Chain A
Amino acid sequence: MGASVLLHFGEPLIYLLGLGYGLGRFVGEMAGMPYFTFLASGFIAWSAMNVASMESMWSVYTRMVPQQTYEAILATPAEVDDIVIGELLWCATKSLFSGSAILAVAALLGAVNDWTAVFALPVIFLTGLCFAAPGLIITALARGYEYFNFYMTLAMTPMFILCGVFYPINTLPAPMQSVVQFLPLTHAVQIIRPIVVGEPVTNLGLHLGTLGLFGLVTSWIATILIRRRLIQ
């Protein structure tokens, strides 16, 4: 428990304080807001992705393979679909914990202007759901924990760097801007940042729709693959 809090809350907090204040001194403003605010709002979305991904890979794999928890559950009336839905909701709940903790810190440090920032909470939850599902897909295919390094390095790190957490995506070269439109974290940042800083969200329907569709499709694939793994 303590280790988990440290990883999911402590780590982003260190990044946020270090980069927000350290780098922020040189950067000053970004996209019309203090850099600390810009970064804090991006980190809320990133943390939602990060926590849901870690939980849906390492923890789910632990329950599925070494602990055989799902085998025990599948001897009861519960089915694979129930397990998948339960895991998705739990991953999103953990995202909500960490996202709201960072939001609270950001508010204490003056990065939040209005109480309407609480509307970011359901979006954080949705972001968690949306990233838990691809994590489950990777877990269903994994032969060991090392397998997750592929997804970490090839999917999570590029999204962390490219999807508008550190700088606005319109500073990217034009072809790159088109690419990041297909990455879900971009859309999570585009909704969460304006809500946190108290600005109107542009293209809300597009961003929510993209996240929702991505989450639904990956959840559907995850259910098929987890079922194939558990029921042989």
Chain B
Amino acid sequence: MPISAPLLVHCQNLSKNFNGKPAVAGLDLDIPPRICFGLLGPNGAGKTTTLRMLLGQSPRSGGTLEIFGEDIELNRRQIRQRTGIVPQADNLDPDFTVEENLRIYGSYFRLPTHEMDRRIPQLLDMVELSARATDRIDTLSGGLKRRLTLARALVNEPEFLVLDEPTTGLDPQARHMIWSLVHRMKRNGKTILLTTHYMEEAERLCDQLMIIDNGTLLAQDSPTGLIRKYCESDVLEIRGGIPKEAVGRLPTSCRTEHAGESLYIYSNHAKPLLELAQGLPDTACLHRHSDLEDVFLRLTGRELRG
């Protein structure tokens, strides 16, 4: 991608306070066009607040925020005309059928009837809901509702698509279907902003990742870049009885982390980890490559969030 491509989202020093408490504190967020950008962070990190500001559903307390080069506060209608969102909580209209939901939503974008007649069957086909077009919303499973919400987000043919935890609570089949739809959106040239708690999902879908906590930036890079930068290459997980002596003999280059009953040993060399693992039963330890979840936990800590 040429470096000169204008940014689709450009935020500087973006902040938001609720009753004096900062939820987002001076975030710089730039999203170039046609990539999938992941925004990660524990609960309460400021992800949803950031998304709400990007959509003009929450006025910022400070900083600048431009989408398509326009200030969101000044050009909400125009920006939303070109944006689609899959919100975290299901908000399909239970008073209408599957197809009516798309039609009503399209009317908010002032789509002419002939446009809807063309787009809606295509969208229903894409999310494999054509057979359910006349069914009511309350007869759909969670996975089908999610697919319909994704179709709804595409009814205005947006250039910018915001997916707020699109696969939370879905079974693996439904999750894979959403993933393949996201890949398809990317191929179609859409710019995607995704939040998720599933690191595997972030690793699979996103070109760029930003990890935030307490409303500030912790790290930003590609998924592999983050793993290289913030974590050793190998990890040994030991569950239950920890062989203290053997652990004590490890070279100082190994880093250890305790979490409940488990011990995580990180190292850039597999050898000392493998040697330690040999002395332990298979069920008590696991040697693997570090992944994004290790980076995430290292940066945001292991304590539970509200």
Q: Which residues of chain A have a CB within 8 Å of any CB of chain B?
A: 67-69, 71-79, 230-232
Contacts and interface: CB of A to CB of B under 8 A. Distances in A.
A8 to B, nearest CB: 17
Interface centre among A67, A72, A79 (most CB of B within 10 A): A72
17 contacts: A68-B87, A68-B89, A68-B90, A71-B57, A72-B93, A72-B105, A74-B57, A75-B80, A75-B84, A75-B87, A76-B109, A77-B76, A77-B78, A77-B81, A77-B108, A78-B108, A231-B59
Given A74-B57, A231-B59, 5 more contacts: A69-B91, A72-B87, A75-B84, A76-B109, A231-B58
B19 to A, nearest CB: 10
A74 B55 CA distance: 9
B225 interface: no
Contacts of A68: 87, 89-91
Nearest to A72: B91
B47 to A, nearest CB: 16
B77 interface: yes
Contacts of A77: 76-78, 80-81, 108-110
A76 B81 CA distance: 6
Contacts of A231: 57-59
A75 B93 CA distance: 14
Nearest to A70: B91
Interface string B37-67: 0000000000000000001011100000000
B58 A75 contact: no
Given A72-B105, A76-B108, A77-B80, A67 B91 contact: yes
Name which of A74, A75, A231, A232 has the most chain B CB atoms within 10 A of its CB.
Answer: A75
Contact of A75 (B57, B90, B92): B57
A76 B78 CA distance: 10
B83 interface: yes
Contacts of B94: 67
Interface in B83-105: 83-85, 87, 89-94, 105
Interface of B: 18, 55, 57-59, 76-78, 80-81, 83-85, 87, 89-94, 105, 108-110, 152, 156
Contacts of B57: 71, 74-75, 230-231
Contacts of B93: 67, 69, 72
Nearest to A232: B58
Nearest to B52: A232
Nearest to A77: B77
Contacts of A78: 108
A229 B211 CA distance: 30
Contacts of B58: 231-232
B85 A75 contact: yes
Given A76-B105, A76-B108, A232-B58, A71 B91 contact: yes
B20 to A, nearest CB: 14
A72 B84 CA distance: 10
Contacts of B108: 73, 76-78
A231 B156 CA distance: 23
A79 B77 contact: yes
A76 B89 CA distance: 16
A75 B77 contact: no
B55 A75 contact: yes
A82 to B, nearest CB: 9
Contacts of A232: 18, 58
Contact of B87 (A67, A71, A76, A230): A71
Contacts of B89: 68
Contacts of B59: 231
Nearest to B81: A77
Which of A67, A71, A76, A77 has the most chain B CB atoms closer than 10 A to its own CB?
A76
A85 to B, nearest CB: 14
A79 B72 CA distance: 13
Nearest to A63: B93
Nearest to A74: B57
